[in-house]
Every structure is written in C-alpha cells, then in structure tokens.
C-alpha cells in the first residue's frame, strides 16, 4: 500500500498490486448449501522471531468496526503495527496511538462528566479490539500439489479454540507416550508425526462455521518423497508474505473512522 496527498491535501491510498493465490490459504469456509466438510492437514513448524520452532506464530491484530465501504460485513482485521515481529523502528501503530490519545484527552475532563465517559468508551472499544491470531503452515492432504498453505486461527478467550486444541493434543500425546514407556513423542515430527483431521460444520443456531480437530490414529511421514518434504519444510514464503499489514497512513484513516479511497 502506498499513499500520497492530493491537491486538496487529503490522503489518497494507492492499492499495490496483489499476488493473491487462493491455493496458498487453507479453506475453512463452507459453501452455500454445504452443511459440513472434512479435510486433513499436516502441520509444518515455523521459526518465530526468537529463532525457536513453533507450530503456530502469534500475531497481534485489531478487529475493528468499519464503514461498509471498507468491508461489507462491517468488521475487518488489521495487523497491529506494534506487533513484536516488526522492527522496533517500524512499530508505529495509529490505532494503538489513537487509544492513548483518547485516554489522555479523557483525563482532561472531570471524573463522571459526559465528555470523559464518551472518550473513555471510544478508547476501550479500540483497546478491546486488540487480539491475537495464530498463523500455521500446513500441507493439505489430497491437495499436496498446492504446496504449503497458511491457516489463520483467531484466539479464543475460552482457551478452547483450534490453537488450544492442537497444543493440548501435542502435550497429551507426549505424556501418554512417556507413561507407556515409549519415551517422548513429538506429534509434529516429520518422520513419525501425526496428521490432523479437521471437520467443519454449520451451526444450526448461529449459522456460523464450527470446527472440531483430532489427530489421526497412526503416525506417518510428511512425505515419502525426500525432495518434496525438503521443499515443503524450507518453503521461503512466510506468514507476513501472505497476510500483508496496511500502511501507517491507511490505519490513521481507519482509526478516525474514515474510508481510505483508491
């Protein structure tokens, strides 16, 4: 995303060319008329900014209520520019700055005043929008030709979401293996690890897509082709190549409830 000032001194946001490839994203949606769908994936480990291998990379984002012109359903996720994965000198998130400004402005008014309550309400709305998503690299079984895919998982306050399920399964299987005298077990191992079965169903009450996750019964190799396995493991594409952050100028407009135009 690029931006510039037009003749009326207003910010114009110029949309950059997109290299969007639908096959690179794990499809977790149900099509119209589809009540359920199953798929199987193998998780690929990813190095975080600390150099440690993890099955999921946590990233901060803001889930904001936006104008319908920005997103038809009225809400949109924006990666927080203050996320620790970005270089410190680039951490200039206008949304986080707006939260601070609103609280500072509210403190100038008397306790209990309408002005103070109004500003604090806006500040907390923005503050509560700050959440965490997890990005997972994986191979979708039956669609290996698509190569490495990315799965975006939102965090759940209940700690019962997909991230927690996968994490708990890894801990549980490791403990079970040691208790049975087989030694440590890494469910993500590329030679003797396990695939995960994902079942997507449409809730009759909310009509939203629900997901259940389980590990398959038997271990397997990531691939029987060593070259293919090496290619998948060392795939150079990273989460921030697939989920682009917006520019500081763009997010300034969003933070002020504006509509960036192209």
With vertex at residue 77, the alpha carbon angle to CA 71 and CA 81, rounded to the nearest 5 degrees, is 130
pTM of the model: 0.84
Which pLDDT value is given to residue 10?
55
Q: Is 97 helix (H, G, I), strand (E, B) or coil?
A: helix
Q: Residue 4: is its pLDDT beyond 50?
A: no
Tokens representing 2? 């690029």
Question: Could you read off the pLDDT of 242-261 as tens digits, one per residue?
Answer: 999 999 999 999 999 888 87
Which pLDDT value is given to residue 31?
87
The closest alpha carbon to 70, from 240, 262, 260, belongs to 260
- The alpha carbon dihedral of 78, 68, 153, 47 has a sign of negative
Least confident of 98-102, 131-135, 208-212: 208-212
Question: Could you read off the pLDDT of 190-242 as tens digits, one per residue?
Answer: 999 999 999 999 988 877 889 999 999 999 999 999 999 999 999 999 999 99
Close Cβ partners of 35 (under 8 Å, ≥ 6 residues apart): 201, 202
Q: Residue 16: is its pLDDT beyond 80?
A: no
Least confident of 5-14, 28-37, 244-253: 5-14
Q: Is 215 helix (H, G, I), strand (E, B) or coil?
A: strand
Question: Could you read off the pLDDT of 67-99 as tens digits, one per residue?
Answer: 899 988 889 999 999 999 999 998 999 999 999
Beta-strand runs (E) in the chain: 2-5, 11-14, 36-44, 46-47, 53-54, 57-65, 75-79, 130-140, 149-154, 196-202, 209-215
Mean pLDDT of the 181-187 span: 96
């Amino acid at each position: 995303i690029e931006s510039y000032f037009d003749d009326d001194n207003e910010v114009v946001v110029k949309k950059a060319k997109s290299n969007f490839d639908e096959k690179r994203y794990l499809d977790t949606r149900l099509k119209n008329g589809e009540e359920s769908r199953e798929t199987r994936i193998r998780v690929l480990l990813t190095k975080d900014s600390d150099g440690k291998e993890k099955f999921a990379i946590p990233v901060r984002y803001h889930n904001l209520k936006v104008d319908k012109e920005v997103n038809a359903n009225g809400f949109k996720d924006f990666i927080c520019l203050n996320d620790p994965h970005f270089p410190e000198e680039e951490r200039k998130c206008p949304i986080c700055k707006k939260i601070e400004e609103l609280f500072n402005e509210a403190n100038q008014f008397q306790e209990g005043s309408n002005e103070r309550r109004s500003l604090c309400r806006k500040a907390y709305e923005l503050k509560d929008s700050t959440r965490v998503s997890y990005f997972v690299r994986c191979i979708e079984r039956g669609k290996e030709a698509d190569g490495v895919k990315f799965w975006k998982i939102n965090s759940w306050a209940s700690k019962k979401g997909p991230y927690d399920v996968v994490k708990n399964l890894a801990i549980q299987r490791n403990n079970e293996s040691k208790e049975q005298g087989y030694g440590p077990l890494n469910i993500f191992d590329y030679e003797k690890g396990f695939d995960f079965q994902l079942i997507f169903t449409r809730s009759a009450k909310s009509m939203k897509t629900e997901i259940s996750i389980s590990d398959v019964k038997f271990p397997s190799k990531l691939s029987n082709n060593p070259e293919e396995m090496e290619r998948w493991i060392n795939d150079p594409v990273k989460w921030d190549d697939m989920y682009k952050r917006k520019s500081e100028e763009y997010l300034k407009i969003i933070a002020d409830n504006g509509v960036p135009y192209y």
